[in-house]
Amino acid sequence: MVSYLEFEKPVAELEKRIAELRNASEGDDVDISKELERLEVKSADLLATTYESLSPWQKTQVARHPSRPHFRDYVEHAFEEFMPLGGDRAYGEDEAILGGFAKLNGRKVVLIGHEKGNDTASRIRHNFGMGKPEGYRKAIRLMEMAGRFGLPVVTLVDTSGAFPGVEAEERGQAEAIARSTEACLALPVPMVATIVGEGGSGGAVALASAERVLMLEHAVYSVISPEGCASILWRTAEKAPDAAEAMKITAQNLKKLGVIDRIVNEPVGGAHRDPKRMAEELGQAIGEELDMLSKSSPDELKRMREERFLQMAG
């Protein structure tokens, strides 16, 4: 069952009407197939038109959609033989950041990413994708392992930001994020990062400091949430749509600014409407990037990362 966003109400009404007509026609001698076909075409056109002109704030809502595919969905549909590895060998396990060995179209990789969960229980268990220090230290451990075994690193970023709780600060949240970012930049193997939903603050950068950064069509990537920015600038979260517009958080804006390298198109109506197809499209895109990067030496890969981030700073 599709969960509709506020701006999708006209589409929701049409699709509801189609469903009612289809149910009413069951066992009825009246042929309404042409009317159904007309409405389905109209609904598809309206959905496509709506998603072609989304505002940055509407894209933020799509990126946060409760049915949007997360890490485990991509593991299921795009990767094979995933072997999860847990713990940071210092404190404990963090289920907001998952990782391990996997295969992508037969190629062995180390896969790391945020998991938000898909229902109340799993969202609480995964802390809504907000990583703690032990999660980032686990990521560092996996990246170092990838370097030793010569395996490319693939990361799937989807977090509103690192967990800001007192216990996380006590265990060195800022230091863990900085070390994870450093580990990305120092990798002697190819690294491809993808912003699949929200890319928020240092919690995202810690897994996205790669030489190739991809972004899904309706994902968002920023130093702070629109609500957080609005609260600072205007003292009210109600200005979040204005903040989203000003911050240039969409894939289209960030591609123009050189922050990301490639936009991966989503199914019409967003990734949540066809998670399997979205995963397959993303897997193909990541595979193409890894094919290209496999020709580069460790020194070239490090230089590529250095140059991309120095260029942003300049």
> What is the distance between the alpha carbons of residues 304 and 314, in angstroms, rounded to a whole number?
15
Position 1 pLDDT exceeds 80 = no
Tens digits of residue pLDDT in 281-309: 999 999 999 999 999 999 999 999 998 88
> What per-residue confidence (pLDDT) applies to 121?
95
Query: Whole-number mean pLDDT of the chain?
Result: 93
Q: Is the dihedral of CA 15, 47, 277, 62 positive or negative?
A: negative
Any idea what DSSP says for residue 266? Answer: P
Tokens of 68: 């949007």
Instruction: Indicate the pLDDT class of residue 314, thresholds 50, 70 and 90.
Output: low
Average pLDDT estimate for 221-239:
93
Helix, strand, or coil (residue 102): strand
pTM recorded for the entire structure: 0.92
Residues sharing a CB contact under 8 Å with residue 26, sequence separation 6 or more, in sequence order: none
> What is the distance between the alpha carbons of residues 164 and 223, in angstroms, rounded to a whole number?
14
Contact 97, 113 (CB under 8 A): yes
Concatenated DSSP letters of 105-174: TTEEEEEEEE---SSHHHHHHTGGG---HHHHHHHHHHHHHHHHHT--EEEEEEES-S---HHHHHTTHH
> What per-residue confidence (pLDDT) applies to 299?
95
